[in-house]
């Protein structure tokens, strides 16, 4: 395990608070419940398969045979109590057990029979308790009664004086053994309770181990532990998003649509102090949903009345043209190598002011193209003509394209796929952006669960704030859209003063070409 992972585990263990422990328990409640159920099932099954055992008990009283004065009786009582412990030990000897085996016809050895017998005596008493455990209640009672009688005979023999007088000690059975009606084991209730607590402890142990070793980013709390960058929004996982990834393909009041509107609003405030209009969207690894997030953010901005340019700068695995159903053959790389004018390569999409610059042909040197002066000039031309420019860049860790491009834009938004990226990868991505002095506007959590402790907390006032959001956007100074009407200026007109007629607009997509 490398130093980065170890340091994260140590820091994570120190930073956990009560709410973090509760979140871990909520996140892993299925593991705990499963462990408890397994513990109960195992203990219950074991109780059913264990053969029941019954216990029978007999009690003996130890007394002196002779009588005398009070002082003699008191001394005799002390003598008797001292002898009781010796009689308890005598119960498990062959001298006591062999006669029992012979009288009952048992096919066991004295040592085996002794394992079924327990003899005890209470302190400061002259009572001896003999209990026998056996699978048969009748046999347990018979053995207990026989052992008691055998002990009486053995003690009488051992304590009898050599000259043939009567033994000074007499043992009497005061509680005869009887057959038990209920077994003493297995205790099903006790076993189930023990199984419950054993399963609970095992589940908590597994959860604790998983919490320490699991380095996947699951929710907002994990992100906030790694960076001070604001969380701009959270997008819940939608199984239909694979087939219908676009914002326009979902219901306007759906949680997914609302999450992108909230992201649009939060990004506006995070980007309010920046002169640059360009926002770079990237992620740590492929598959975190940066391309769909960039596309839907551009659509949301266009729906709010802004003129938006969406640029597919992922020259490794371009996806925006596929999502939007546009032509990818000519695009960003075509403009960078000078084969076509930028104004002719932008493709309008939808009924709003959204224009898309697809990737073009995949080049052999993406990093060099994205870091070139022509790319810087292209971004400047887009910023001069549009209210917002959204650039979809490759992931940070596999290639250096995003880090190179981050130096040329006004801000970077890092898309984090829940359970798709690990904390070490996210730390490396943040370090890579910090190394190039990129301005990280914030983090977008993608693929979040819709319920549970890692679900993103949407505001209850989201729908009420939509009107206020629209007012904020409409209150901004109007920007002449050079790509919308025939009377407006084109890129060349803005940048060079050339009179170029604006192209026709396609309602759902298509390339832009000068007349």
pLDDT digit of tens for each residue in the chain (515 aa)? 444 444 544 444 444 567 667 777 877 888 899 999 999 999 988 888 888 899 999 999 988 766 554 455 555 566 677 788 889 999 999 999 999 999 999 999 999 999 999 999 887 788 999 999 999 999 999 999 999 999 999 988 888 876 667 777 888 999 999 999 888 888 888 889 999 999 999 998 888 888 777 788 888 888 888 888 999 988 887 767 677 888 788 878 888 888 889 899 988 888 776 778 899 999 999 989 899 999 999 999 999 999 999 999 999 999 999 999 998 888 999 999 989 999 999 999 988 899 999 999 989 889 999 999 999 999 999 999 999 999 999 999 999 999 999 988 989 999 998 888 898 999 999 999 999 999 999 999 988 876 655 565 544 333 333 333 333 333 333 333 444 333 333 444 433 333 333 333 333 444 333 32
Q: Are 409 and 382 spatial neighbours (Cβ–Cβ below 8 Å)?
A: no
Q: Which pLDDT value is given to residue 22? A: 76
Crossing angle (nearest 10°) for helices 188-213 and 3-15: 120
CA 461 to CA 48: how far, in whole Å? Answer: 57
Q: Are 76 and 63 spatial neighbours (Cβ–Cβ below 8 Å)?
A: no
Q: Residue 464: phi, psi to the nearest 5?
A: -75, -30
Q: Are 260 and 235 spatial neighbours (Cβ–Cβ below 8 Å)?
A: yes
Burial 186-217 (b: 16+ CB within 10 A, else e): bebeebeeebeebbbebbbeebeeebeebbeb
Q: Name the burial class of residue 512, with classes exposed (0-12), middle (13-18) and buried (19+) by CB atoms within 10 angstroms of its CB.
A: buried
* CATH class, range 54-175: alpha beta
What lies within 8 Å, CB to CB, of 421 at 6+ separation is 216, 217, 283, 284, 285, 288
Neighbours of 103 (CB within 10 A): 12
Q: Which pLDDT value is given to residue 467? A: 37
Q: Which pLDDT value is given to residue 480? A: 32
From edge to edge, which strands make up the β-sheet containing 117-121? 117-121, 127-134, 54-64, 169-175
> What is the maximum span of the chain, computed from C-alpha positions, in angstroms?
144
Q: Which pLDDT value is given to residue 380? A: 92
From edge to edge, which strands make up the β-sheet containing 231-236? 231-236, 440-448, 411-417, 278-283, 388-392, 308-312, 354-357, 347-349
Domain boundaries, the chain: 3-50+187-213, 54-175, 220-496
Q: Which pLDDT value is given to residue 222? A: 83
Secondary structure of the chain: what % helix, strand, coil (to 5)?
Answer: 50, 15, 35
For the chain, the distance separating the N- and C-terminal CA atoms, rounded to the nearest angstrom, is 62
Tokens 């002779």 belong to which residue? 66
CA distances from 143 to 128, 186, 269 (A): 16, 21, 88
Q: Could you tell me which of 320, 319, 333 has the C-alpha nearest to residue 368? A: 333
450: three-class secondary structure by DSSP: coil
CA distances from 433 to 19, 407, 427, 439, 442 (A): 31, 9, 10, 8, 12
Domain 220-496 in CATH 3.90.76.10? The answer is: no
Crossing angle (nearest 10°) for helices 70-90 and 137-159: 130
DSSP assignment of 133-192 equals EESSHHHHHHHHHHHHHHHHHHHHHHHS-TTSPPPSEEEEEEE-----SS-SB--HHHHH
Domain 54-175 shares a fold with domain 220-496: no
Q: Are 47 and 257 spatial neighbours (Cβ–Cβ below 8 Å)?
A: no
């Amino acid at each position: 395990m490398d130093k980065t992972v170890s340091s994260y585990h140590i820091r994570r263990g120190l930073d956990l608070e009560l709410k973090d422990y509760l979140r871990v328990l909520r996140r892993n409640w299925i593991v705990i419940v499963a462990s408890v159920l397994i513990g109960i099932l195992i203990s219950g099954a074991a109780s059913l398969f264990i053969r029941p055992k019954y216990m029978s008990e007999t009690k003996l009283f130890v007394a002196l045979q002779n009588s005398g004065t009070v002082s003699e009786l008191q001394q005799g009582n002390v003598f008797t109590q001292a002898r009781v412990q010796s009689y308890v030990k005598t119960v498990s000897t062959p001298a006591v057990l062999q006669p029992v085996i012979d009288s009952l016809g048992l096919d066991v050895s004295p040592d085996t029979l002794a394992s079924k017998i327990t003899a005890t005596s209470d302190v400061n008493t002259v009572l001896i308790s003999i209990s026998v455990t056996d699978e048969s209640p009748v046999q347990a009672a018979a053995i207990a009664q026989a052992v008691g009688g055998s002990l009486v005979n053995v003690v009488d023999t051992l304590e009898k004086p050599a000259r043939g007088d009567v033994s000074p000690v007499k043992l009497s059975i005061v509680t005869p053994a009887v057959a038990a009606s209920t077994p003493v084991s297995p205790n099903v209730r006790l076993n189930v309770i023990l199984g419950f607590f054993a399963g609970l402890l095992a589940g908590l142990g597994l959860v604790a181990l998983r919490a320490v070793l699991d380095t996947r980013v699951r929710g907002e709390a994990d992100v906030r532990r790694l960076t001070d960058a604001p969380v701009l929004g959270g997008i819940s996982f939608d199984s239909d998003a694979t087939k219908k990834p676009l914002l326009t393909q979902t219901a306007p009041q759906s949680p997914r649509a609302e999450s992108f509107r909230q992201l649009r609003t939060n990004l506006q405030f995070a980007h309010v102090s920046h002169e640059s209009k360009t926002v770079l969207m990237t992620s740590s690894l492929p598959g975190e949903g940066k391309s769909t997030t960039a596309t839907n953010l551009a659509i949301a901005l266009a729906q709010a009345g802004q003129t938006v340019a969406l640029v597919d700068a992922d020259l490794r695995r371009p996806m925006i043209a596929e999502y939007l159903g546009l032509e990818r053959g000519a695009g960003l790389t075509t403009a960078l190598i000078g084969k076509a004018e930028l104004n002719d390569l932008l493709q309008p999409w939808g009924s709003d002011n959204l224009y898309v610059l697809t990737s073009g042909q995949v080049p052999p040197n993406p990093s060099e193209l994205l870091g070139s002066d022509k790319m810087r000039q292209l971004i400047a031309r887009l910023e001069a003509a549009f209210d917002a420019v959204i650039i979809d860049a490759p992931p940070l860790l596999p290639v250096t394209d995003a880090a190179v491009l981050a130096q040329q834009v006004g801000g970077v938004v890092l898309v984090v796929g829940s359970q798709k990226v690990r904390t070490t990868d996210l730390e490396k991505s943040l370090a890579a952006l910090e190394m190039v002095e990129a301005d990280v506007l914030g983090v977008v959590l993608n693929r979040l669960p819709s319920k549970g402790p890692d679900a993103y907390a949407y505001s209850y006032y989201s729908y009420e704030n939509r009107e206020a959001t629209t007012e904020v956007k409409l209150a901004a100074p109007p920007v002449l859209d050079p790509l919308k009407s025939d009377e407006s200026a084109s890129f060349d007109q803005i940048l060079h003063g050339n009179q170029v007629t604006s192209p026709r607009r396609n309602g759902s997509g298509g390339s832009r070409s000068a007349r």
